[in-house]
Structure 1
Amino acid sequence: MRFERSHTRKAVALAVAGSLVLLASACGGDDGSKGDTGGAAAGALEGRGPITFATGKDTSGFLPKQVAAWNADHPTEKVEVKELPENANDQRQQMVQNAQNQSDAFSVLNMDVVWTSEFAANKWILQLPEDKFPDLDKLVPATVETAKYRDKLYAVPITSDGGLLYYRKDLLDQAGAKVPTTWDEMLAACLAVQSKVPAAKGMGCYAGQFEKYEGLTVNFSEAVNSAGGVIVDKDGKPNVDTPEALAGLEELTKGFQSGAIPKAAITYKEEEGRRAFQEGKLLFHRNWPYVYAKASATDGSSKIVGKFGVAALPGKTGPGVSSLGGHDYAISAFAKNKATAVDFINFMASEARQKANIQATSQAPTWASLYDDPALTSQFPYLAPLKASILGAQPRPRVVKYNDVTTAIQEAAYSALSNKTPPKQALTDLQTKLSSLITQ
């Protein structure tokens, strides 16, 4: 799930789903929820005719083809795409405004996985009867959990996401450096490449997404989790003022201080970082699976075609931990023609549509079998590290007041990365803020 389009995925019948279940704060507690029923009750999925599909800006160019395939077979139930901004925060704002006005302008919502609790608790989306979606058991279990609130289904996962480390394989090979699994190994590889490969002189070592937006919440969460820390513990309580969380945050702050992370990266969202990597300005880059297709494009937009590889994110003592990303489709509680909306979601969630989507965009599917499809694994070598990334991923806090929580995380992390607040103080302040937002 990338956050510029406002972006999750997985494989095989996995017992690990238990490790990715909703945090306790998402399943109980009063932090702003409106009763046990959550969103609008299941049922009343009636009405056929034209519908609208509200989604973040499509930078792949493939979504219109997916929708056109539906429209060709459903001339009286056509889908009109309502394209929202590229930034996830702006997408959410427009969806919230639409819901608060009880407008029927949006029928199906393409939602970031972290919005489910908020939208369901406020009754902005419908609770969905699982028997209307017969393929749910064929999807990666952890992705289905992202679509639930208080154990009830409110959406259907269409894409998943796990963070990946893109790296310049050609330069590592020239320097005799290995693909890193830890932060220290990555920094050592940078020094080796910069000292041994003339073409790498002046190249930045590493960048992720560090602008003050949802991508920063992801990158901060990954740094903390990869160092053994948490933001919210298994009991749903904030626990971010710890030595482990500090170690994770300091990996990033020290990176900026030393220059290993270029100063310009404080402004990077997904696309800014992708472009820098494709233009040969970065040795390592953290981003989502969609970058693979972009960086492999042979239309002249990428300078690194055939020169890069994909690996797991680095951690403190071994491979790191990705945040679980992705997008789920939900039905607005105020939509017309809800029966058509159900069928459209099933169409987009189908194995055929998801396979077409990954082939065109390299976005991670939620259909488990696709991760082991020989044709796809041959075409997309990143599927193996992506599968591992998703299986080991951790969800961001699943709370009703998620927008307030993520804003607090972004402010604390950005202040530390900008060298305005010492990392320890930033975490202490964040712990205090989260304790007031997440109540039991």
Structure 2
Amino acid sequence: MTWGDRRERRRTRAAVALGCLLALACAACTGPDGTPPPADPDGAPKGPIIVASGLDVTGSGSVRQQLVEEWNRQHAGSPARQAKLVELPGGADQQRSQLLGALQSGSARYDVVNLDITWIPEFAEAGLIRPMPATGTPTGAAAEDELDVIREVHATTVWKGRSYARPFNTDVGLLYYRPDLMAKADMKADKQPTAKWTWDQLYSSVKTLGVNPVRPADRAGWTTQLKQYEGLTVNTIEAFASVGVELTDGEGRYVSDAGELKKGLDELLDRVERGRVQPAAPTSDETASLTDFAEGRAAFLRHWPYVYKALGHLMQPLEYSVNRLPGKSVLGGQNLAVTADSSRAADARALITFLTSRKSESCLLDAGFAATRASSYTSARAPCWPRVAAALRPAGDAPKAAGSGAPGEGAPKEQGAAARAAYIRTLGAVLDEAVQRPRTPYYGAFTQVLQSRVHELLAAGRPDTAEAAARLDDELRDVFAGR
């Protein structure tokens, strides 16, 4: 089936059953009453180029909004090229549902959508986003610019041999730790960005710390996001990948089996038991796990890059550091795509090019996101747009741990230039070796099945993983076949 066929089929099936979902999606549209902007009599659309995105998690003063405003300043003499950022409420699953409903029904006039990297195959397969124009083999500056995007990050835009987006900001798992707690146990922490810790070394460190958590208030070895949501999927895939378990090939076909799944499940449960995980971890998301770490209830923390900047508002500079995550780290992030129904695709692509330029990526890195370009992690990286850099508030709006007071009140200074440079080198090295979650148009069904089964295992303590793996194997075969 061609892209045009899929698009036509999508138009004809429009979504009587979307009901309440569409009402929610339309609330994020551009008109005050949720209606799309009107068109000129000659058919040219009125109003700005609309960019739909999730909320900015960095607490940086909304660097995405600032980048859109910089684009508008640079195109002040062209009203038709002005842009507007629409932030969708809710978590990732809610945002995905809103975008699917709005684009399938045509109820919202979005020109650019900021998609989680796992959604690209689904939106591409459904004909909801346009393939990026094929330019042949780029040469000169164009080739240099294309090669600057980190290879595995660029691969998140590709489905069935075609690129459907441009990487906007990326993400990857990191290991944060408490040097102050380790020092009290007469332990030395290697902060070098080239150091590669193993899980066995982490288990040994946890044993030396002498922790034995039973209640959520107890100090634990480490913590992470094991609540039944996407964070649990990420942690599971990282455990699977670390022992060589792959679930799908590049075309989304299932390639694992019950034996391999058992190996991956055993690895995850080892991390929970031997790592003496925080008892609250099975109910923890990003915010809860960060709070436990910042308040001393865990010596180690698996989390995303934006936490490095946030910790400067929660802890003293000598109380935290960061390194590679032992084993494999999973990619996250968002990609910018042009919607299939956009009437201004050329302008939308130009906006995407600006938002993913070297200067814009430097702004994203400065704000706390992980940049998608290799040059962003070198001493030769381009500077952030000056007015964007000036607009980003340096303090007072980062996420805060529970009970830590109002944001920015008495916040300690962030770590110095040398520590930040080491962090950036570490982040760049981890991105070069990161792995992806399964590439499939059925990702939504996959992650729900995986979360459900793994959460059952965690609740059961140390169950029969062979039986659990056999059951999961049957279910994943159906999911990845679209059944």
Q: Distance in 2 between matches of 1:405 and 1:253?
A: 20
- 1:350 CA displacement: 0.5
Q: What does 1:47-58 correspond to in 2, within 5 Å?
A: 50-58=48-56
Are the equivalent residues in 2 in contact too, given 1:162–1:322 (CA < 8 A)?
yes
Q: Does 1:433 align with 2:475?
A: yes
**Out of 204, 207, 211, which is 1:191 matched to?**
207
Is the contact made by 1:104 and 1:335 (CA closer than 8 Å) also made in structure 2?
no
Larger relative contact order (CA 8 Å, sep ≥ 6): 1
User: Partners of 2:45 and 2:425 in 1: how far apart?
Assistant: 42
Alpha-carbon distance in structure 1 between the residues aligned to 2:6 and 2:285 = 32
Kindly tell me the number of residue pairs found equivalent between the two proteins. Answer: 388
In structure 2, the residue corresponding to 1:403 is in which secondary structure? helix
Correspondence for 1:139 among 134, 144, 149: 149
Q: Kindly provide the amino acid, as one letter, of the partner of residue 437 in structure 2.
A: R
SS in 2 for 1:311: strand
Corresponding residue for residue 270 of structure 1: 286
Q: Which runs of 5+ in 1 are unaligned?
A: 1-33, 196-200, 315-319
Amino acid of the residue matched to residue 432 of structure 1?
Answer: D
Query: Conserved in 2, the CA contact under 8 Å of 1:40 and 1:120?
Result: no
Residue number among 398, 401, 404 corresponding to 2:445 in the alignment: 404
SS of equivalent to 2:422? coil
Identify which range, 143-152 or 170-179, moves more after superposition. 170-179
Would you say 1:158 and 2:168 are equivalent positions? yes
Report the Cα distance in structure 2 between the residues aligned to 1:138 and 1:303, rounded to whole angstroms. 34
Corresponding residue number in structure 2 for 1:23:
none
Larger-gyration structure (1/2): 2
Choose which of 288, 294, 307 in structure 1 pairs with 2:319: 307
CA contact 1:230–1:240 (8 Å) conserved in 2: no
Match of 2:362 in 1: 355
Indicate the larger mover: 341-350 or 256-265.
256-265
Q: Does the residue aligned with 1:364 lie in a helix, a strand or coil?
A: coil
Q: What SS does the corresponding residue of 1:410 show, helix, strand or coil?
A: helix
* Alpha-carbon contact 2:197-2:325 (below 8 Å) kept: yes
Q: CA deviation at 1:247?
A: 4.0
Q: Partner of 1:15 in structure 2? A: none
Which residue of structure 2 aligns with residue 83 of structure 1?
Answer: 87
**1:356-411 superposed Cα distances (whole Å, 9 cap, x missing partner):** 111122x2111111112268985342223322322222211111111111111111
Q: CA RMSD in A?
A: 2.9
Which residue, 447, 451, 456 being the options, matches 1:415? 456
1:366 is aligned to: 372
Structure 2 counterpart SS, 1:330 = strand
* Distance in structure 1 (CA, Å) of the matches to 2:218 and 2:292: 13
Q: Confirm or deny that 1:73 pairs with 2:103.
A: no
The answer on 1:106 being equivalent to 2:123 is no
In structure 2, the residue matched to 1:27 is none
1:393 to 431, 434, 458: 434
Q: 2:214 maps to what in 1?
A: none
Aligned amino acid, residue 371 of structure 2: P
Q: Work out the CA distance in 2 between the residues paired with 1:188 and 1:160.
A: 31
Query: Which residue of structure 2 aligns with residue 222 of structure 1?
Result: 238
* 2:269–2:458 CA contact under 8 A, matched in 1: yes
Deviations 1:311-355 (A, max 9, x none): 1222xxxxx011122211001112232222111101110000110
Amino acid corresponding to residue 183 of structure 1 in structure 2: W
Q: Which of residues 232, 237, 241 in structure 1 aligns to 2:258?
A: 241
2:108 and 2:339 map into 1 onto residues whose CA distance is 8
Matched, 1:252 2:268: yes
Tell me, in whole angstroms, the C-alpha distance in 2 between the residues paired with 1:255 and 1:352: 39
Distance 1:121 1:273, change over 3 A: same
Q: Is the CA contact (8 Å cut-off) linking 1:238 and 1:438 kept in structure 2?
A: no
Identity over aligned pairs, percent: 29
**Mapped contact 1:57–1:85 kept (Cα < 8 A):** yes
Q: Gaps spanning 5+ residues in structure 2: where?
A: 9-43, 191-195, 212-216, 384-416
User: CA, structure 1 residues 80+383, in 2 after alignment: closer, same or farther (shift >3 Å)?
Assistant: same
Structure 1 position 272, deviation (Å): 2.0
**Contact 2:202 2:275 (C-alpha < 8 Å) held by counterparts:** no
Amino acid at match of 2:226: F
- For 2:242 and 2:275, locate their aligned partners in 1 and report how far apart those are by CA, in whole Å: 21
The aligned counterpart of 1:286 is 302
In the alignment, structure 1 residue 175 sits paired with structure 2 residue 217: no
AA aligned to 2:359 is A
Inter-partner Cα distance in structure 2 for 1:165 and 1:289: 10
Task: Report whether the alignment pairs 1:149 with 2:159.
Answer: yes
Deviations 1:229-267 (A, max 9, x none): 222357832415225x43442343355557811221112
Matches of residues 37-52 of structure 1 in structure 2 within 5 Å? 50-52=48-50
CA distance in 1, matches of 2:288, 2:344: 39
- Counterpart contact for 1:210–1:268, Cα < 8 Å: yes
**SS state of the match for residue 388, structure 1?**
helix
Say which is worse superposed, 375-384 or 54-63, in terms of deviation.
375-384
Which of 220-229 and 64-73 deviates more? 64-73
Give the aligned residue type for 2:230: E
Cα-to-partner distance string for 1:123-167 (whole Å, 9 max, x where unaligned): 000111144994333211222211111111210011122211111
Q: Distance in 2 between matches of 1:35 and 1:159?
A: 30
In the alignment, is the contact (CA less than 8 A) between 2:220 and 2:298 conserved in 1? yes
Deviates more, 1:393-402 or 1:67-76: 67-76
Instruction: Check 1:219–1:225 CA distance in 2 against 1; reply closer, same or farther (3 A cut).
Output: same
Structure 2: distance between partners of 1:395 and 1:141: 12
With over 3 angstroms needed to count, the CA separation of the structure-2 counterparts of 1:71 and 1:404, relative to structure 1, is: same
TM, length-normalised to structure 2: 0.73
Instruction: Give the TM-score of the pair, scaled to structure 1.
Output: 0.80
Q: Return the letter of the residue paired with 2:48.
A: P
Aligned 8 A contact 1:412 1:427 in 2:
no
Per-residue CA deviations over 1:55-106 (Å, capped at 9, x if unaligned) read: 1111322222222211222241222221113521111111111111123432
Q: Alignment partner of 2:439: what SS?
A: coil
